[in-house]
Structure 1
Amino acid sequence: MISRTLPIKILRPDSITAGERAIAIEVPVAIEIDGLGYAVMMMTPADLAEFTTGFLLTERLADSADDVRDIDVFEAEAGWIVRVGLSERCKGRIHDRVRHRTSDTSCGLCGISGLEQLCKPVPRTPPRPATPVSALFAALAGLRAHQPLNAATGAIHAAAACDRAGKVIAAYEDVGRHNALDKLVGGLAIAAQPVDGFILVTSRVSFEMVDKALIAGAPMLVGISAPTSLAIDHAREHGLTLLAVARSDAILVVNDPWNLFENGSEGGT
């Protein structure tokens, strides 16, 4: 169950009426890796295998979906538990980075033990985007159709992979913006499907969202809300094309390392 309907009251300037509303389910999901507790995430209990795969990739505990073994997802009294194993070549990493943390839906970096853990390696430089401006607005217009849970509850973020024409080819929802993006990263990795166009997220663009897009190998990240300074710095350091405050009438170009969006240009080719 990812939502439930609850009775509510509706206040208006001249009346109070009874009603009901679909409410998004938020539960703790404990991640156990090779028998060791690693993280507890507050999230939507759907697509947990994809989330776990993406989470291990973006945490740099796995290098590919093949390194993620034996995912076992089950519901417990207090929430959900995901037990997963790592390939032999990756097993040592968990012992170097074991931590117990409780992450809320606003920050997947809460609980790291030191600032040096922010400086995790990025395996490759993002490719040159080949997406015209028209595709960006097409994706924005089409994204709502891929957000059924948010349509019902109004409380859910989405992360979508879009092709060069702006068609949404994969999308995941979660109460946590970073969880939604991890689900997308994991789903794409499991399907061995590269990001041909760009990743579109319905949230602000933070350092971690940029970092996850880099791990996914996306040519470009587009956010509906604003970026943070650290997100911009991270994108500039690693050559990720970054767009933000994406609306139906305008989009801000925050980092354009390929000079795709010059005045009068149609963007990528």
Structure 2
Amino acid sequence: MCCGEGRLRLLMIIYSDRPLNRVSYARVMEERIAAQRMASQGTVPIEECVAVEEPLEIQINGSPWVTTMRTPGQDRELAIGLLYTEGILQNEDDITNIHLEDNVLMIEGEISAEGHTRGFLRSSSCGVCGSASLESVLARNPPKIPADTFTLQWGDIEKLVTKLNSSQSFFQSTGGMHAVAQFNENLEIINLAEDVGRHNAMDKIIGQSIDAMPHYRLGFLLSGRVSFEMVQKAVMVGSPCIVAIGAPTTLAIQLARQHGLTLIGFVREARFNVYTGAWRIKE
């Protein structure tokens, strides 16, 4: 092991013991978040390493071009690769300057986004489109989610996930589908959709029940992880709860906390993590 590697390992050990602090030696890709682990033996406070999700706005010669939800790090490479695959950049020499400031990557050079000025937002699973600025992602007017109209028992969570798993017919046959379901307080699956994109499956669910907004008494079940746009969709329809087999990102947790949504992840046999809104889970 070289000296540099040894120092890096030492830094990782030191910072791993500091709760709720971000590692400072590099662009942060994970963050330690306080949560509650609920199991049959009881509830204990824990800290989980959560994947960081933050927006990155890419500007070309002073004009916003695209906003993408990503895990920070290698932002320059991300932008160059996206520009190349979109047919905007032919050679890296065409770029004269790249500067990153406050999650805005400014690119200058002999390049033009003319003909590509679709001003869209790419999520970490390509879920949210049609927005050209960071402000437009959060500047919505969602219904206020009531704090006391939806509760679950501790044992309900595993039952719900079991129902979801047994209902994923296309996943069972292909192994390549995400599933999203809506459920009520009686643990009944009201709607279910499968798609190669988790965001598409959730949009299908919302489309099926567009005439029953807001969804104050319906929660969402997700077969995978929880990124920002999944929480955003739930918030926009007034849903009070998301239960996911996978893990949430930092931005998903932040948005859920901001709107009083109960966010449950890492559901396994007889245990799960509650990241926000634990008051809705009765032991």
TM-score by length of 2: 0.52
CA RMSD of aligned residues (A): 2.6
Q: Which runs of 5+ in 2 are unaligned?
A: 1-116
The runs of at least 4 consecutive aligned structure 1 residues that moved more than 4 Å come to 100-105, 190-193
Matches within 5 A, 1:101-112: 106-109=125-128, 112=131
1:177 aligns with 2:198: yes
- Residue 142 of structure 2 corresponds to which residue in structure 1? 123
Q: Secondary structure at the match of 2:267?
A: coil
161 and 131 in structure 1: CA distance in 2 versus 1, 3 angstrom threshold: same
Q: 1:1-269 maps to which residues of 2 (within 5 A)?
A: 99=118, 106-109=125-128, 112-128=131-147, 129-190=150-211, 194=215, 196-256=217-277, 259-261=279-281, 265-266=282-283
**What does residue 114 of structure 2 align with?**
none
State the alpha-carbon separation in 1 of the partners of residues 123 and 256 from structure 2: 24
Identity among equivalent pairs (%) = 36
Any stretches of 5+ residues in structure 1 without a counterpart?
1-97
- C-alpha distance in 1 between matches for 2:179 and 2:151: 23
How far apart in 2 are the matches of 1:109 and 1:234? 15
Give the Cα–Cα distance (whole angstroms) in 1 for the partners of residues 177 and 171 of structure 2: 5
CA distance in 2, matches of 1:126, 1:166: 20
Give the TM-score normalised by the residue count of structure 1. 0.55
SS in 2 for 1:160: strand
Amino acid at match of 2:280: L
User: What letter corresponds to residue 106 of structure 1 in structure 2?
Assistant: S
How far 1:222 moved relative to its partner?
Answer: 1.1
- Quote the offset at 1:249 in angstroms: 2.3
Measure, in 2, the Cα distance between the counterparts of 1:136 and 1:237: 23
- Mapped to 1, the partners of 2:202 and 2:157 lie a distance apart of 18
8 Å CA contact 1:132–1:164 kept in 2: the answer is no
Q: What does the per-residue CA deviation read over 1:149-187, in whole Å, with 9 as the maximum and x for residues that have no partner?
A: 111100000110111122211100100011111111111
AA aligned opposite 1:174: D
Query: Are the equivalent residues in 2 in contact too, given 1:105–1:177 (CA < 8 A)?
Result: no
